[in-house]
Amino acid sequence: TRRIVGSALPIVVTVFLLYSYFGQIMPGFFAHRGYSLERIIEHLYSGTEGIFGIPLGVSASFVFLFILFGAVLNKTGMGKFFIDVAMAIAGHTIGGPAKVAVIASGFMGSINGSSVANTVTTGSFTIPLMKSIGYRKDFAGAVEAAASTGGQILPPVMGAAAFVMAEFLGIPYIRIAAAAAIPAVIYYIAVMTMVHLEACKYGLKGLPKERLPKLGKVVKAKGHLIIPILGLVYLLVKGYTPIFSAFWAIVMSLAISMVKSETRLNLKKLGEAFEDGAKSALGVAAACACAGMVVGAVTLTGLGLKIANGLVMLGGGNLILTLFFTMIASILLGMGLPTTAKYIILSIMAAPALVDLGVQPLAAHLFILYFGVIADLTPPVAVAAYAGAGISGGNSMKTGFIAVRLAIAGFMIPYLFALDPGLLFINSSIGHTLVLIVTSLAGVLALGAAAGGYLLDHVKIYERVVLIISALALLRPELLTDGVGIILLIGVLISQKIRISKKVELA
């Protein structure tokens, strides 16, 4: 596991194993009777809550096929297709290359299981492109990191965590994918908005249209590659199992690739695709096995219940405070771990506290997944940001902090659906969900403008304060708070519009 996914996860497992053995000498809250080596090994190896538990079982069945599907698609040229489509759509707009990075990374991330791999794959093209029109190198690396990390919360694959979540919660995978779709789209709209505001702030233009591919030509050349993804979604929506759907999606991708010579997979490319898929799946399997050991240690010692009770006590029974402390715990526990492993650990240790306070179970699990994923951007262990900095040549820590600012919506969205699961299509009418979408977009715009210091014009100090209050008001899904938040945001927009008009008159 150390050679495949790094040292962080094995260190975490070692700490939990030592905790299981030395429980009798632990201080107050963490104390337990302690277990012998024989008992620990028996629980981890022979039980269903250890190495061979649900996570590894899901990895060997659902996850492997979806990773293989992504590897096959990648070999057919799907990555280049995504980048070309993004270039054709957004390359000529204000700050075009950064928007290309957001769109392409979103597409790639939806079928990729790693934020770091996604950053490196698309960033090798998009980061130099961003620097070429004047984006600072730290900002260029941060854009790619923020966009690539978002792929871990975007259906259909969601870093493979969605499949484990479906097994833990006992609900169909397609329901999780459908619930996660709107929050993920809001996240990407927010990142795109932050990129646009930054470009406006510094007067960065797009690329000349003559340098960009034509959308019609791109779709004509490789548009058929999207058919397997549409087929996968169709099969899942029709109620077929993820295993059945992924298998036939792989078959479709192989068949569709034969339509044109530039996408056709010969035996060599096919072998490379299977090799890449197997290597990626091996990393997930090793992470799941290790995470299973953490789950085993937590269930054996009762630590999960203690932490859940501790979070509730810290929050004093207040949901907002408990959500805040759970957010901190999720970011800390998620640092440096693969997406699937961090979700498994957090689902045992953090999610129960939220469920105990009445948060809908799916909303609680998505809440901890979001903040576990955001740990990939959060210094000091901002692995995705560091990957972006490695390509851009920027400062790793600066890139990490800028990435957090760009992904600020990712800190707000989980609170929105935890407080009102209507954003996840849970117990909600279409009208109510639409209202939540509008207020959520307004909230992330206000928060993003406050963080970035620009809306229609440079944000004054008092405007920043008003925008923060607006975002906080929109965080609470109630008619009064939503009204206050919208009015404050409109007030800042009008204020800036008047100021811009005066500048034009003086000019």
Q: What is the pLDDT of residues 431-463, one digit of tens each?
A: 999 999 999 999 999 998 998 899 989 999 999
Whole-number Å distance between alpha carbons of 112 and 160: 9
- Tokens for 400? 């990490």
Q: Is the pLDDT of residue 363 over 90?
A: yes
Helical residues (DSSP H) of 335-393, grouped into ranges: 339-349, 351-356, 361-374, 383-392
pLDDT attached to residue 482: 92
pLDDT tens-digit readout, 343-352: 988 898 889 8
Inter-CA distances, 365 with 2, 165, 315, 346, Å: 27, 8, 18, 8
Spatial separation of the C-alpha atoms in residues 199 and 452, rounded to whole Å: 11
Tokens 């990407």 identify what position?
A: 188
Amino acid identity of 488? L
42 phi-psi bin (left φ>0, alpha ψ -120 to 50, beta other): alpha
Are the C-beta atoms of residues 51 and 287 closer than 8 Å to each other?
A: no
The string of pLDDT tens digits covering residues 164-210 is 898 899 998 889 989 999 999 999 999 999 989 888 888 888 888 88
End-to-end CA distance of the chain: 64
pLDDT band at 271 (very low <50, low <70, confident <90, very high): very high
Q: What is the mean pLDDT of residues 94-109?
A: 86
**Given this model, what pLDDT does residue 143 score?**
92
Give the count of beta carbons closer than 10 Å to the beta carbon of residue 135: 25
Q: CA 23, CA 33: separation in Å to the nearest integer?
A: 6
pLDDT band for 142, please (50, 70, 90 cuts): very high
Rounded distance, CA 320 to CA 302, Å?
25
Q: Is the pLDDT of residue 113 over 70?
A: no
Contacts of 8 (CB under 8 A, 6+ apart): 335, 336, 337, 381
Poorest-pLDDT segment among 36-40, 140-144, 286-290: 286-290
| Mean pLDDT across 97-108 | 86
Above 80 in pLDDT, residue 502? yes
Contact 293, 309 (CB under 8 A): no
At position 386, the amino acid (one-letter code) is: Y
Mean residue pLDDT of the chain comes to 87
pLDDT value of position 471: 93
- Collapsed DSSP state (helix, strand, coil) of residue 125: helix
Residue 150 has pLDDT above 80, yes or no: yes
Cα(311)–Cα(320) distance, integer angstroms:
11
Residue 48: predicted pLDDT: 76
What percentage of the chain has pLDDT greater than the value 70? 99
Tokens 């640092």, located at residue: 335
Average pLDDT of 141-162? 86
**Of the candidates 151, 163, 132, 135, which has an alpha carbon nearest to the alpha carbon of residue 66?**
163
The number of CA neighbours under 13 Å toward the Cβ of 151 is 29
The pLDDT assigned to 369 comes to 93
Question: How many degrees, rounded to 5, is the angle at CA 148 between CA 146 and CA 153?
Answer: 95
Residue 371's pLDDT is what?
93
Residue 90 in this model has a pLDDT that exceeds 90 = no
